A and B are shown apart, each in its own frame.
Chain A
Amino acid sequence: MLALVQPIANGVLLGGIYAAVAVGLSLVFGVVKLVNLAHGDLIILASFLCLAATQAFGISPFVAAAVVIPTMFMAGYLLQRLLLNRALPKGLEPSLIICLGVSTVLQNALLLVCSPDARSLPTSMATMTIPVAEFLTIPVTYVIGFVSAVIMIFLLHVFLRKTFLGRAVRAAADDAEIAQLMGINTGKIFAAAMGISLVTAAVAGIIVGTTFTFYPHSGPQFLIIAFGVVIVGGVGSMIGTLAGGIALGVAQLLGAHVLGPGYQLLTGYLFLLLVLSLRPEGIFGKQA
């Protein structure tokens, strides 16, 4: 029984990281009603930007966040304003395909500019662990990732509830037409939502970069994780995203504990397929 504590603890922490990866996707899906298929690649883009910043200025990845986060916000704002706002009136499919196009362009551009080697963001804490008990050691990077994710999700939750921009975003999500009647410029709000989504992607990118090794083609892998979390947790609820991430993380690591480390992802996918067929709107989602 005690042997399960380690996988469950790791699963919870990993789940927080997964939630950070998924938050941006959930936000855009809920607000702009757009499935951003480029989300995974945008996270990897952030990781590479952070890598470039750390190598150029010789600073720690966490300090480089000060550069990466505003850059990603601008990128998201412009992406929505210039490309996606034009496609949205045409229906769901055109914007889906444009996002897939952006994803492909990003992946291949990264492969061309940076070589396909494995990268990771250098931090002194990469191999540190905290021994809690003889059956439980906690990797420091996982803890940092989990805490950052929870803080980010909490901030986003407060932002959506308390600030004017947050309420405008929620209004546009509920009913874009009425929101426009209330004087909200939905084009700018959608762009802001996309910008915020990319800010979360930037944070996720830094977390991912310091915790795992990444390649230019790692994007789709994280997109699937994000989708999985959204499927389990439901769209539009920040708490749901956190719960979904934790559920997925625990499912993966328990599976790995029972079947072997090669099966970690497989158990995750089987768990996702199960939830998808039984309760596609997720634990916290609204019934369709």
Chain B
Amino acid sequence: MLLVITFFLYAAMAQMWNLLAGYSGLISLGQQCFIGLGGYTLAVLAEQYGFPVWAAVLVGGTVAALFALVISIPLFRTTGVYFAVGSWITAEALKIAFTNWDYVHAGTGIFIRSAYRISLGEVYYAALAVGAGAVALVYAILRSDLGLGLAALSEDEIAAQSVGVDASRSKLACFLISAFVTGIAAGVLYLQQIFIQPYNAFSIDWTVRLLFIVIIGGIGTVEGPIVGACFFVLLQRVFSDYDHFSMLLMGATAIIVMLAAPRGIVGELRARWGFEIVSTRRR
């Protein structure tokens, strides 16, 4: 059960990373900002103000999206690897800020006691909703005008802009959506984990896992993050006794995938045999 919950939530967050990196050309190393903010909003609202947990999860997503809006002002002035590093530095800055902030209990973290009353079944349905919702959302975006604009931008940014695609608006929209959904997924995740502290919540490890999931599954495809998340969760389960071995294998697999099959599992399936579950093409 726990495995499936983890799968749904990672699939959702991976879809959002894919939306940024695979479709908007924004390689983000800062998803952990939104994960930490979503989780902490839930923790603070539920613990210190007695908010109902599900409302707090939604507020968490909103807080993450607002932060994304604010941080996009400096970050969107950078491109490529500087954007990636900038988003990572922002996350590290948040980590230290939270570690020194007494309002959120600084480094000792927060126990979300109201989460004890939430049953695993409820969390399961929430995770299912988030996971399925994320996939549906990405599919809807890709079939919409925003998606058409994104496809054009990824081909040739200048040509797309010359026919009226607003590049910065499209990228900002994806950035905000990604932050919102990642924040909500994090809220559900911390609802299940019940304890949050800055070192883990804002750790780069989150984004590294999401990156590997999307790369192995297939970047730029809708099914890719799902397949990748499945692979990741299975690997964790199989090697659950050997702590770091599953991440070592994830890294090694990502290297092999990049050398032998750069389009990822789904990408290669699609390229060689035209295998597609979810088509985003317009006929």
Contact = CB atoms under 8 A, between A and B. Distances in A.
Given A94-B262, A104-B212, A266-B97, A112 B243 contact: yes
B248 to A, nearest CB: 4
Given A100-B208, A104-B212, A224 B92 contact: yes
Interface string B57-70: 00000000000000
A168 to B, nearest CB: 25
Contacts of B90: 269, 273
Given A97-B215, A266-B93, A280-B78, A108 B85 contact: no
Interface string A100-111: 111111011101
Contacts of B172: none
A224 B93 CA distance: 11
Contact of B208 (A86, A104, A263, A270): A104
Instruction: Give the bracket for the number of chain B residues in contact with chain A.
Output: 35 or more
Contacts of B88: 224, 227
Nearest to B214: A97
Contacts of B75: 277
B89 A269 contact: yes
A263 B96 contact: yes
A83 interface: yes
Interface in A77-130: 83, 86-87, 90, 92-94, 96-98, 100-105, 107-109, 111-112
A108 B208 contact: no
A262 interface: yes
B269 interface: no
Contact of A277 (B77, B93, B96): B77
A71 to B, nearest CB: 21
Nearest to A105: B251
Contacts of B35: none
A262 B211 contact: no
A87 B259 contact: yes
A109 B252 CA distance: 11
A265 B94 CA distance: 11
A112 B244 contact: yes
Contacts of B211: 97, 100
B110 interface: no
A70 B74 CA distance: 42
A101 B78 contact: no
A269 B258 contact: no
A11 interface: no
A108 B77 CA distance: 34
A231 interface: yes
Given A97-B211, A108-B245, A277-B74, A102 B92 contact: no
B251 A269 contact: no
B258 A280 contact: no
B247 A101 contact: no
Contacts of A220: 204
Contacts of A104: 208, 212, 247-248, 250-251, 254
Contacts of B212: 100-101, 104
B82 interface: yes
B8 to A, nearest CB: 24
A270 B85 CA distance: 13
A101 B89 contact: no
Interface string A252-278: 000000001011011001101100110
Contacts of A280: 77-78, 82
B86 interface: yes
A99 B215 CA distance: 13
A143 interface: no
Closest 6 CB pairs of A and B: A104-B251, A277-B74, A101-B255, A108-B248, A108-B244, A269-B93
11 contacts: A35-B81, A92-B80, A101-B251, A104-B248, A104-B251, A105-B252, A112-B248, A224-B92, A265-B92, A273-B90, A280-B78
